[in-house]
Amino acid sequence: MITQRANDLINDAAELEQAAINNVVPVLQGMAWRLSYEIKIAPSVKTASGFMQKGTAQRVVVGQDKKGQPKYKTVFNKFAVMSLFINTEKGTHSKFATIVLGPVDWILFNKANVNLGQVQANISQRTTAGAVVSMQPKPTEAGAPAGQIVAPAPTQVTPVITAPKIAPNIYPAIGVFMHNQPPLFATLYKKVGNEILSFEPYANLATEEEKIRLSQDPGKFAQNEQKLKDRGVNTAQIQAVQFLDLSGVGKYPMRSVNFNEFFVYTITPIGTIAPQEPKTVALATTLFEYYKAKGEPLPSVEERSKLYEQLGLGTAIYYTGTYEQNTKLLSSLQGK
């Protein structure tokens, strides 16, 4: 249900956030109708780092010579590549992404007489039927030619828009610090990556009326903790430390952020507090998370292609880092 305002006026941060949700969800739900797809068969593909994969060669018998010996022709396999386009409000048709779908057996693919235009139309219909439909092969319906993919009929989707839930302890505050001298809760800090985020509850959560009324009041920060609790912050987890314990703040660039950015980021404690345990390799859901848990950078596509073959998952020259290949590689690395 959309939360309506009595007079349409936005009065505070919560109403601004809700107004954004109310209006952006229908736009996002309609985005699928703005998308179009173009599939091409390319002789080679190149990653962002410059690593190139070329199609492998096959020798095909095309006849016999005068002595009855087979005559061969060399055919090179290729790669299926899909470009995604979006139709903007100004009527422009802009490409915003390119996806390598995988290697193509050029001989069998040619024999299949694939109609790329029809494939593109099927994809468009399947991804605009209210939501992206599972891309698993669909069973042939009764009466349809064998092997034909039957696109689902469009379905009516009712937007579900909910107001932000305000309740105790929605937002954890592990790793959040403040100075242990009054005024407490004046400025909060936490380390994220290689920077320090700071958040000032009074500046971000007090209403304009409160700021005008309390601007000269030295006790204006007294309500900060309650305002944080009202927004769902577990303030009991915020640690009050001596200023010396915050000396690590000066080692990193500091950036002042709003409420959402401060309490959404993964928190890495600073000072004398032990850092949170990183995600283990067994819990990783992507290759990036897997190698991060090992304390290593994500290998390049070229490096992963060799590992892909070593693990018996396929041929290195076919590896381009597609979603399917990365999922297979991750499962193998995790021993699943």
Instruction: Note whether 115 and 4 are same-domain residues.
Output: yes
> Are residues 194 and 158 part of one domain?
no
In this prediction, residues 260-269 reach a mean pLDDT of 58
| Residue 49 covered by a domain | no
Mark whether 95 and 143 lie in a shared domain.
Answer: yes
Q: What is the pTM of this model?
A: 0.45
Q: Reduced to 3 states, what is the DSSP secondary structure of residue 142? A: coil
Q: Are residues 11 and 160 in the same domain?
A: yes
Report the pLDDT value the prediction gives residue 179, as an integer from 0 to 100.
84
Assign 98 to helix, strand or coil: strand
- Tell me the mean pLDDT in the region 265-276: 39
| Percent of the chain topping pLDDT 70 | 72
Q: Which of 77-86, 114-123, 187-196, 257-266 has the lowest mean pLDDT?
A: 257-266
Q: What's the token pair of residue 56?
A: 């492998």
Region 55-75 average pLDDT: 85
297: its two tokens: 């950078």
- The answer to whether residue 129 is domain-embedded is yes
Q: Same domain for 125 and 222?
A: no
Task: Output the CA–CA distances (angstroms, integers) from residue 119 to 113, 114, 134, in the order listed.
Answer: 12, 8, 15
CA 182, 188, 189: angle at the middle one, nearest 5?
Answer: 130
Mean pLDDT along residues 129-134: 42
Q: What mean pLDDT do residues 242-259 have? A: 70
CA-based nearest residue to 109, from 139, 79, 147? 79
**320, 45 in Cβ contact below 8 A?**
yes
pLDDT at res. 267 = 39
- Judge whether 300 lies within some domain: yes
Kindly state whether residue 221 falls inside one of the protein's structural domains: yes
pLDDT beyond 70 at 1:
no
The contacts found for 281-289 with CB under 8 angstroms, 24 or more apart, are: 281/333, 281/334, 282/334, 284/330, 284/334, 285/330, 286/326, 286/330, 287/326, 287/329, 287/330, 287/333
pLDDT the model gives residue 47: 75
129 pLDDT higher than 60: no
Same domain, 35 and 105: yes
- Spell out where the chain has E strands: 35-42, 44-46, 52-54, 57-64, 70-76, 78-87, 93-104, 177-179, 188-192, 195-199, 239-241, 254-256
Average pLDDT of the chain is: 74
Q: What is the residue range of 302's domain?
A: 281-333
4 in a domain, yes or no?
yes
Residue 243 has a pLDDT of: 62
Q: Pick the most confident of 59-68, 120-129, 248-257.
A: 59-68
Confidence of residue 247 (pLDDT cuts 50, 70, 90): low
Span 176-205, average pLDDT: 85
Write down the pLDDT at residue 306. Answer: 92
Same domain, 145 and 19: yes
**Which amino acid is residue 62, in one-letter code?**
V
Rounded to an integer, what distance in angstroms lies between the CA atom of residue 336 and that of residue 128?
34
CA of residue 236 relative to chain centroid, distance: 31
**In the predicted model, is pLDDT for residue 159 greater than 50?**
no
Which two three-digit tokens encode residue 60?
A: 């095909």
pLDDT winner (highest mean) among 140-149, 213-222, 324-333: 324-333
Which value, to the nearest 10 degrees, does the dihedral of the CA atoms of residues 114, 116, 119, 121 take?
A: -150
20 and 136 part of one domain: yes
Amino acid at 135: M
| pLDDT band with cut points at 50, 70 and 90 for residue 328 | confident
Q: Per the structure, how many domains does the chain have?
A: 3
- CA dist 139 and 153 (Å) reads 15
- Looking at the fold, whether 142 and 188 belong to one and the same domain comes out as no
Asked whether residue 51 is domain-assigned, the answer is no
C-alpha span between 29 and 7 (Å, rounded) = 27
Ramachandran angles phi, psi of 118, nearest 5°:
-70, -40
DSSP-assigned states of every residue in 283-323: G-SSHHHHHHHTT-PPPPHHHHHHHHHHTTSS-GGG----H
Measured CA to CA, the distance from residue 234 to residue 320 in angstroms comes to 44
CA distance 304 to 295: 17
pLDDT tens per residue across span 289-326: 888 888 888 888 899 999 999 999 988 888 888 877 88
| Same domain, yes or no: 238 and 107 | no
Q: Please state the rounded mean pLDDT for residues 227-243.
A: 83
Residue with tokens 């057996």: 105
